[in-house]
Amino acid sequence: MTVDELLSKARMAIKSSKLLLDAGDLDGACNRAYYAMFDAARAALLGTGAISSLASIKTHSGLISEFSLQLVKTGKVSIDLGKAINKVEDLRLIADYKGDNIETEQASWAHEQARIFVGTMEQLSKSS
């Protein structure tokens, strides 16, 4: 996938997150918020040249580690956004696998963080 295709997927996931949030599907909203961030992070890593191929990242934890190492620790992305992707991933894991209740405030926060994250990764990808 190209940077533009990944960012397009991320933008669509943000829209889906909002629709699910508005419909009261808090688990689904957290899932789509995380995947928006996941695809935007992949786009940023590719777009900045931090990785040469998506094939080099095999797992979600591998993506987050590489994102932190290549973009957060180098100062290209704020520590707050690095923490946000970790926390939204935690919410997705709770929603998708653990079965604990996700609160409306948590899902709203996840959606908002994903919206900010995707916008920032779009700008980073364009400037590189």
Residue type, 121: M
Looking at residue 56, what is its pLDDT?
82
| H/E stretch holding 67 | helix 60-67
Q: Is the CB of residue 57 less than 8 Å from the CB of residue 37?
A: no
DSSP 123: H
**Contact indicator for 63, 38 with CB cutoff of 8 Å:** yes
**Which of 38, 63, 60, 37 has its CA nearest to residue 51?**
63
**50-107 tens-digit pLDDT:** 888 888 888 889 999 999 999 999 999 999 999 999 999 999 998 888 877 899 999 9
Residue 112 pLDDT greater than 90, yes or no: yes
Element (H or E) spanning 108, and its range? helix 104-127
Which comes out higher in pLDDT, residue 98 or 40?
Answer: 40
Q: What is the pTM of this model?
A: 0.94
Which pLDDT does position 38 carry in this prediction?
Answer: 96
DSSP 59: S
State the CB neighbour count (10 A cutoff) for residue 6.
23
- 3-127 — its CATH code? 1.20.120.330
- Nearest Cα residue to 121 out of 51, 65, 40, 53: 40
- Give the distance, in angstroms, between the CA of residue 100 and the centroid of all CA atoms in the same chain: 21
